[in-house]
A = this chain, B = another copy of it.
């Protein structure tokens, strides 16, 4: 096993692969669909393939960046085609390291905590890179790679990585859904969502600058225990049972939580 990772192959052609390929200057990209493999490969002038038999056999690192439920199968395929010396990692927030085939000696995780979109470059500097390895040696080698590409390389167990992923769902997926619900509700009332943007900018900005408990920043009717307003809102949401339930659940949590 080489102490420094130089030759990297990426498997997958999704948002994470598209972004990692360029950052890590991969040498080869595999995807089932050759056009999609090409889309990722051209980011690093890499070779693109759709047949495992064409895989570079002696890369230092193979990165599996595919849907969670496909990771195991892909790693089984890799195990048949690559050198025993190579390291294989996946990039998933939720899957344990051990989902990777036990026929591979050196396994690990390389999980960048960011929301990626094809076509949109992200600024890598501040993105935390969570790494894990199945031996101290492997872990150190992956960590060194992470350190080269992020100001925030962090060794983290699969268990803790799951906690990070749940939190990411809360602060990224769920907040996006609340924005979408508000936009939909306003559209029905012929009010532009643009009007809310200064408010969103200010309140998120305030939170990002804050160093203490974010619950200190809580405002609104629920934290004030202002039942008159929350009940008036619930009455307005009578026809919209989904939004009503969300409103009730979150208001109760704010009121009862009080941390």
Could you list which residues of chain A lie within 8 angstroms of chain B, going by C-beta atoms? 68-69, 94, 113-115, 117, 120, 122, 126-128, 152, 154, 160, 162-186, 189, 191, 193, 195-204, 206-208, 213-215, 217-223, 226, 228-229, 232-233, 236-237, 242, 245-247, 249-250, 253-254, 256-257, 259
Chain B residues near A213 (CB-CB < 8 A) = 180, 183
Contact A164 B195, CB 8 Å, known A169-B233, A178-B175, A180-B214: yes
Q: Please give, as numbers and ranges, the residues of chain B lying within 8 Å of A114 by CB-CB distance.
A: 198-199, 202
Main secondary structure of the interface of A (DSSP, over half): helix
What's the minimum C-beta distance from A144 to chain B, rounded to whole angstroms?
20
**Which B residues are CB-close (under 8 A) to A185?**
163, 166-167, 170
Count this chain's copies in the assembly: 2
In the bound assembly, the distance between CA atoms of A127 and B200 in angstroms comes to 11
Q: A170-B178, A249-B246, A257-B242 are in contact. Are A163 and B186 (CB under 8 A)?
A: yes
A169 contact set on B, CB distance < 8 A: 220-222, 233, 247
List residues of chain B with CB within 8 A of the CB of A233: 94, 162, 165-166, 169
Please tell me if the beta carbons of B128 and A198 are within 8 angstroms of each other in the complex.
yes
Q: What are 8 inter-chain pairs, A to B, with CB distance below 8 A?
A: A69-B226, A160-B189, A162-B233, A162-B236, A179-B207, A180-B259, A200-B208, A204-B204
The 9 closest A-B pairs by CB, nearest first: A173-B220, A167-B182, A180-B214, A180-B215, A170-B182, A175-B175, A172-B203, A126-B198, A128-B195
**Contact between B228 and A69, CB atoms less than 8 A apart:** yes
Contact check, A176 vs B203: say whether CB atoms are below 8 A apart: yes
